[in-house]
Amino acid sequence: MSPRSLMGLVAGLFLVIVALDSYFIVNETERAVLKRFQEIVRTDIQPGIHGKMPFIDQVLKVDGRATAYELPAQSYLTSERKLMDVSSFVIWRVEDVQKYVTVIGGGGVNTSERMREIAQQRLNARVAERLRNAVAQRTVQQVVAGRREVIVDPDSAMPDENGELTARDLGIGDGSRSDDEPLETITAEEAARMDPQHDAREQLMVSVLADVRGDALEDFGIDVVDIRVKQVDWPSEVRERVFDRMRAERARDAARHRSEGREAAEIIRAGAERQRTVLLANAFRDAEQMRGEGDATAARIYANAYNREREFYKFYRSLQAYRETFRGAGDVMVLEPDGDFFRYLKSSTGN
């Protein structure tokens, strides 16, 4: 190859490289800024094809879509000085590209992934601080169950058309508050505007979101779309003690129920035994009375029969005695032959 041809090939390659580096493409999901000698000359570049000065201008692209990530679980103290593990997640996106690139990528960071990691680390610190402050102002019941209980100022509570105070005037809540948890006092006008479904946890997340959103947008150019509490749990070192206490409470309740059951069983058993004794005594009394009446009737019948025909009665009774006495073939009796027992054997008249 001749020197002229080689120079032409090099010049052609150089022109191709210059042409390729003289434009850039921004996708619909991206936000971009144009830097010239580390100075931002164009910001918030819209999607499409744009030109730039080759080898001088530098394009920095960031993801313009909303990004969701989970914060590691951290331990926070409630207003009752109880430790809780709170897991949350954050949804955010880049709102001010110039500030985001200047603040997050000011240390020479020029990759979108690295800037996202740095932004999430800084957001973690802000969110953790706000969550710690918000949880410290609430009880375990409010953080876990999310019920917000308030009481209306009696001076501002107005009776209804019947002249009585309604349940809403007396308080709002589900009755799960313990005796040592104070109620928040509000006016009747505030109670009328209050959403019954708006609980304490929702209020916690709304307050944290409002604080973090303003600071993040002003400091980093980041719009925090939402912050949500994912899970609230006891720490691992406390969880076993909580479970042991729950087991002890359940065992105590079970023992109480068993003792109450045994007591009720003894009462029922004693009542049944008493009824059985009374029934048997009444039955024995009635049986003896009927037996006595029967014996009296039989004795009267026997007496009447005896008085009607005494000789026949004596004869009949003697025959019965003979039948019972001489039932077996080998029965032997040693008696005087002249006794009264054998007189009807000698004569039918008994003489």
- Predicted confidence (pLDDT) per residue in 307-337, tens digit: 877 777 777 777 777 777 777 667 677 766 6
Coil, helix or strand for 182? coil
- 109: CATH: 3.30.479.30
Sign of the torsion formed by the C-alpha atoms of 140, 144, 146 and 147: negative
Last residue of a domain, one of 63, 92, 111: 63
93 and 230 together in one domain: yes
pLDDT tens digit sequence for 239-265: 788 788 889 999 999 999 999 999 999
Q: Compute the half-sphere exposure of residue 55: CA atoms within 13 Å on the CB side of its CA.
A: 6
The chain-wide mean pLDDT, for the chain, equals 76
What are the two backbone dihedrals, phi and then psi, of residue 339, each rounded to the nearest 5 degrees? -75, 170
3-state secondary structure of 284: helix
| Nearest in space to 207 (alpha carbons), one of 265, 154, 133, 276 | 133
Whether 141 and 183 map to the same domain: the answer is yes
* Domain boundaries, position 26: 3-63
The predicted pLDDT at position 213 comes to 87
Q: What confidence score (pLDDT) does residue 178 get?
A: 44
Written as six digits, the tokens of 101 are 């690139």
Tell me what the mean pLDDT of segment 81-93 comes to: 87
**What digits encode the pLDDT tens for the residues 54-86?**
777 777 778 888 888 888 888 888 888 888 888
**CB contact at 8 A, 157 and 189:** no
Tokens for 163, please give them. Answer: 């002249």
Across residues 125-130, what is the average pLDDT?
Answer: 88
Whether 173 and 88 share a structural domain = yes
Q: How confident is the model at residue 196 (pLDDT cuts 50, 70, 90)?
A: very low
Q: What distance in Å separates the CA atoms of residue 215 and residue 349, rounded to the nearest whole number? A: 139
Whether 173 and 223 map to the same domain: the answer is: yes
Average pLDDT over residues 171-191: 47
Please list the residues that pair with 224 across neighbouring strands.
92
Same domain flag for 172 and 222: yes
Question: Are residues 235 and 102 part of one domain?
Answer: yes
CA–CA–CA angle 39, 42, 43 (5° rounding): 105
Considering the domain architecture, whether residues 88 and 216 belong to the same structural domain is answered as yes
User: Which is higher by pLDDT, 112 or 192?
Assistant: 112
Q: 5: pLDDT confidence band, cut at 50, 70 and 90?
A: confident
Share of the chain above pLDDT 90, in %: 15
Predicted local confidence at residue 146, as pLDDT: 54
d(CA 87, CA 233): 9
Please tell me whether residues 187 and 51 are part of one structural domain.
Answer: no
Residues 208 and 288 occupy one common structural domain:
no
Largest CA distance in the chain: 183
351 — pLDDT class (breaks 50, 70, 90): low
For CA atoms 225, 231, 232, 238, give the dihedral sign: negative
Q: What is the mean pLDDT of residues 279-302?
A: 93
| Residue 295 vs residue 152, higher pLDDT | 295
**Claim to verify: residue 326 and residue 301 sit in the same structural domain:** no
Residues 122 and 223 occupy one common structural domain: yes
Q: Please write the tens of the pLDDT for every residue from 24-49.
A: 777 877 877 777 776 676 777 777 78
- Distance between CA atoms of residues 167 and 48, nearest Å: 61
pLDDT at residue 208 tops 80: yes
Please state the φ and ψ torsions of residue 222, each to the nearest 5 degrees: -110, 135
Q: Is the dihedral of CA 247, 252, 256, 258 positive or negative?
A: positive
* Residue 234 · residue 75 · CB < 8 Å: no
What's residue 110's pLDDT? 65
Q: What is the mean pLDDT of residues 171-189?
A: 47
> Residue 195 phi/psi, 5° resolution?
-80, 120
Residue 226, judged by CB atoms within 10 A of its CB (0-12, 13-18, 19+), counts as middle
| Rounded Cα–Cα distance for residues 45 and 111 (Å) | 17
Q: Which residue has the higher pLDDT, 75 or 351?
A: 75
Tens-place pLDDT, residues 101-120: 888 876 566 677 888 888 88
Q: Which residue has the tokens 């005896």?
A: 306
119 and 165 in one domain?
yes
As a whole number of angstroms, the distance between CA 16 and CA 124 comes to: 45
Which of 63, 94, 110 is the endpoint of a domain? 63
pLDDT at position 230 is 84
Q: Based on the structure, what is the number of domains in the chain?
A: 4
- 222, 245, 268 — which closes off a domain? 245
User: What single-letter amino acid sits at 262?
Assistant: R
In DSSP notation, 225-245 reads: EEEEEEEEE--HHHHHHHHHH
Q: Looking at the predicted structure, is the pLDDT value of residue 193 above 60?
A: no
> How high is the pLDDT of residue 169?
43
pTM of the predicted protein model: 0.51
